């Protein structure tokens, strides 16, 4: 069982819809990282956060340390948002000690 659980595993939405992807973890962490993996395989860092909320364009990431839960929101979704979204949690100060979720595959239809 992965220490990092993402839901849903797959998500299909219509263009313009509000999207929420969830990430839950089992023990205390030092930071949480949201990543986007494009169909070709390349991975892009979206957010790294340890508390509160961060916003970049149409993307919003929140984290609740007490509930051990983070969400990634996409407003006004677009087909170009179609990708795999990965949550990774860091348990210490070393980024190499991160545990990755299995990913959420998002498909946004025009």
Partner 1 sequence: DGGITQSPKYLFRKEGQNVTLSCEQNLNHDAMYWYRQDPGQGLRLIYYSQIVNDFQKGDIAEGYSVSREKKESFPLTVTSAQKNPTAFYLCATGGGRTDTQYFGPGTRLTVL
The residues that touch partner 1, with contacts defined as CB under 8 A, are: 2, 4, 33, 35, 40-45, 48, 86, 88, 94-96, 98-103
Shortest distance, CB of residue 40 to partner 1, whole angstroms? 8
Provide the 8-state DSSP code for 16.
Answer: T
Shortest distance, CB of residue 97 to partner 1, whole angstroms? 8
Provide the 8-state DSSP code for 97.
Answer: G
**Interatomic CA distance for residues 4 and 103, integer angstroms:** 10
Shortest distance, CB of residue 21 to partner 1, whole angstroms? 14
Nearer to partner 1, 2 or 75 (CB): 2
**Interatomic CA distance for residues 33 and 100, integer angstroms:** 9
Could you identify the residue written with the tokens 């957010």?
A: 47
Nearer to partner 1, 72 or 88 (CB): 88
The torsion of the CA quartet 103, 52, 31, 91, rounded to 10 degrees, works out to -100
Nearer to partner 1, 30 or 62 (CB): 30
């Amino acid at each position: 069982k992965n220490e990092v659980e993402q839901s849903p595993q797959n998500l299909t939405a219509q263009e313009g819809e509000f999207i929420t992807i969830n990430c839950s973890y089992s023990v205390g962490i030092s930071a949480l990282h949201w990543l986007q993996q494009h169909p070709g395989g390349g991975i892009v860092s979206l957010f790294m956060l340890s508390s509160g909320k961060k916003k970049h364009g149409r993307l919003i990431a929140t984290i609740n340390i007490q509930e051990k839960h983070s969400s990634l929101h996409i407003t006004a979704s677009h087909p170009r948002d179609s990708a795999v979204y990965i949550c990774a949690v860091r348990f210490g100060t070393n980024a190499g000690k991160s545990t990755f979720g299995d990913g959420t595959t998002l498909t946004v239809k025009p």
